Amino acid sequence: MMEASANHTEGAIARGGRLWLTNQRLVFLPHGFDQALGADAVNLPLSEVAHARKEPAGCGPQAWFSGGARARLRIDVVDGTTQLFVVNRLDSVVGQIEQQIGEGGAMAEKDDGTDERRSIVLCPNCRAEMVEGSNFCHLCGTRITTPPEVAQLQPPQLPPQPPVTYVRPLKDRSMAQILEILPGLFGFLGFGWIYAGDVNTGIMFLVGYLVAAVAFVIFDIISGGICCFFTVPLQILIIAVSVSRLNQHIKAHPELFGE
């Protein structure tokens, strides 16, 4: 009877798709992209349609996104609900729907007493939903030359998925030792501890060793370099003690570094 591009108003937004009018039903199917975003299809028997008329255009931010900035097709359903659509040639569409309602509406039985219905089918190419009897897919444009597959009401059953577990990657023992020794030679001790996960101990060594290094430099300057024979071995001893304790920490945490 009629097929046209349309936007269906859902709340504050409009969903794009195709609108069909048969001698029994008014059907709207959203495009594949909008279907993926949760857009709903509309399938109304004409016997449940009370009126079809024009909805005046509105204004404001909500109208910009819902399609209300222009006049829309308003479908009043007998249960009191309303469906709004943005369509081209609005007057013609309203007239066709009103004419079809006046001729008896959908759900009219055939002469042999059977109920004529049009099924929802799937495009054989892109699997988009459309009304049975369509010549072209409204989504991908494929010409329907063979009977399309009737859409299944039940979604496919997915196999049970195994639980996902997160395995923490092990840290490198050698990297922890290198980060403790090399920066320590330049006055920055504690990075190995921070890498190993003990941030508090790392900060304690970093601050304490910086203070000690500054003090050693002052003593060396005052003594004319004589204190170097005392401060340099002491610095090396502090580094060695830190590395030794770090190795004990590594052995005590096999969950971080392995056995």
- Spatial distance between the Cα atoms of 188 and 213, rounded to a whole number of angstroms: 9
Share of the chain above pLDDT 90, in %: 8
Question: How many Cα atoms are found within 13 Å in the side-chain-facing hemisphere of 20?
Answer: 26
Average pLDDT rounded to a whole number, residues 50-71: 80
Position 12 pLDDT exceeds 50: yes
pLDDT at 113 over 80: no
132: tokens are 């049975």
CATH class label, 2-118:
mainly beta
Mean pLDDT within 240-244 = 90
| pLDDT tens column, 129-172 | 666 667 777 667 777 764 444 444 455 666 776 765 545 567 78
Q: What is the mean pLDDT of residues 14-22?
A: 88
Q: Enumerate the domain spans of the chain.
A: 2-118, 173-257
- The pTM score is 0.42
CA torsion angle for 39, 44, 48, 50 (degrees, to 10)?
A: 70
Residue 85 pLDDT grade (very low, low, confident, very high; cuts 50, 70, 90): very high
Q: Is pLDDT above 50 for 117?
A: no
